[in-house]
Amino acid sequence: MAARILVLNGPNLNLLGSREPRIYGRETLAEIEAACRRRAKAHAATVEFRQSNTEGELVDWVQQAKEKFDALIVNAGAYTHTSVALLDALLACGLPAIEVHLSNIHRREAFRETSYVSKAAAGIVMGLGAKGYELAVEAAVHLVERKKKKKTARRK
């Protein structure tokens, strides 16, 4: 069975391409989604992209993810640095999660160095611009395949 990956994008990421391009790049979220779909297809995986400016909606999507997906990729935007609710949802969900940031949050304002999402993430990709999403797709596929191999090995 192919890996099914949910990619969640937080506040203001709908503005990619026009919002502070020197920090976030010129790629739109639609362009990033298309690149991720191509990368997923190369691995016989699927991705579903969602974006919300609302914390509660992101939490709802994480809670629902276990029923339909095998892994998560999360760019929580500003909620990265503030949302204990999102952290709790990710921990409760139990799916492997990859945290993504277009910029290197450790080279920015001090408040951005704290990530609640990291505490639930299997891995983090940051500072590589839009390419980071594609790398996160590869990492998510790897984690799902590794989990399936472990499950198969336990059955033998």
Q: Which residues are known catalytic residues?
A: 24, 101
SS3 sequence, 106-148?
Answer: HHCCHHHHCCCHHHHCCEEEECCCCHHHHHHHHHHHHHHHHHH
Q: What is the dihedral of CA 52, 30, 12, 71, to 10 degrees?
A: 50
Beta bridge partners of 99: 74, 124
Beta bridge partners of 101: 126
What type of residue is 127?
G
**Contact of 8 with 64, CB cutoff 8 Å:** no
